[in-house]
Amino acid sequence: MKMKKLPLIFTVFFLTNACQDVKNQVSHNGDRVAVAYEEKEAILQELFVEKGIKWTGFQLFFRVFKHEEELEIWAKNTDTIRFTLVKTYTFCTNSGKLGPKRKEGDFQIPEGFYKINRFNPKSSFHLSLGVDYPNKSDLLLGDKTQPGSDIFIHGACVSVGCISITDDKIKEVYLLANEAKKHGQNAIEVHFFPMKLNGNTIEKLIAKNAEFKQYESFWNDLKIGYDFFEEEKRLFEISIDENGKYRF
């Protein structure tokens, strides 16, 4: 999976700035979050009714699949345990290849278990949600001086390591995250996978491309978390040991 070619003006800017999400001044069109609510709130409320989820109290969970180029949004009522798939958004563009992010400037989208830890309503990419990359695992397994940073789910249609889903789609995702935060969810978990790890997917990938052998142990760790959620549709405790391995 190769990064799609970007227009020259974007290439020059983003190669020097990576996925940095500096704050821009809001345009004369008004507050972007307010516009998102005006355009999308009624649509999303109707969707939640269809899914049996209360708009007045819910929690979110995100899953990212790099190969499929999909961002899944899951939700549940605050008084229940299991999540329901609400909507799947396709990437507008992609970058890097299968395998974790290990260094600043490698164009890789991360792989692992993270949280949404910041909101930028004045993003350079319309609206954006920041991911807490690098985590402890990334710091231990990645480049010791420049493991990378500034990973976001955002609008626009350009990526050198972030999840880009267009301005229109980010309005919905940002609005949902904002509502979850208002209901008391301080951190939204987001799990990044190289692809859907069903069955013996990892073995098949390695058989097709020996380069992926280096990720076998790491991907098998991710698969434990993937399989648990696939079966239980609920979240679980995650820790990281002294070697950077995920423990469940």
pLDDT value of residue 20: 64
CB neighbour list of residue 75: distance below 8 Å, 6 or more residues apart:
48, 51, 53, 58, 59, 60, 61, 83, 84, 86, 176, 180
The HSE-up count of residue 128 (CA atoms within 13 Å, CB side) is: 27
What is the spatial distance between Cα 32 and Cα 143, in angstroms, rounded to a whole number?
A: 36
The full set of domains in the chain, from first to last, is: 8-198 (2.40.440.10)
Tokens 């397994």 sit at which residue? 141
pLDDT band at 160 (very low <50, low <70, confident <90, very high): confident
DSSP 138: H
Q: Is the pLDDT of residue 3 over 80?
A: no
Closest CA to 151 of 13, 23, 62, 19: 19
Q: Which residue has the higher pLDDT, 12 or 190?
A: 190
Over residues 169-191, mean pLDDT: 97
pLDDT tens, residue by residue, 194-245: 999 999 999 999 999 999 999 999 999 999 999 999 999 999 999 999 999 9
Q: Is the pLDDT of residue 147 over 90?
A: yes
Over residues 139-151, mean pLDDT: 95
Parallel, antiparallel, or unpaired for β 239-240 and 188-193?
unpaired
- For 210, the token pair is 């020996």
What is the spatial distance between Cα 33 and Cα 190, in angstroms, rounded to a whole number?
A: 21
pLDDT band at 176 (very low <50, low <70, confident <90, very high): very high
pLDDT value of residue 11: 43
pLDDT band at 22 (very low <50, low <70, confident <90, very high): low
What is the spatial distance between Cα 129 and Cα 12, in angstroms, rounded to a whole number?
A: 24
pLDDT value of residue 39: 98
Over residues 165-174, mean pLDDT: 98
pLDDT tens, residue by residue, 98-141: 999 999 999 999 999 999 999 999 999 999 999 999 999 999 99
pLDDT tens, residue by residue, 25-74: 433 345 999 999 999 999 999 999 999 999 999 999 999 999 999 999 99
In order of 74, 110, 192, 218, 220, the CA distances from 247 in angstroms are: 23, 18, 16, 11, 12
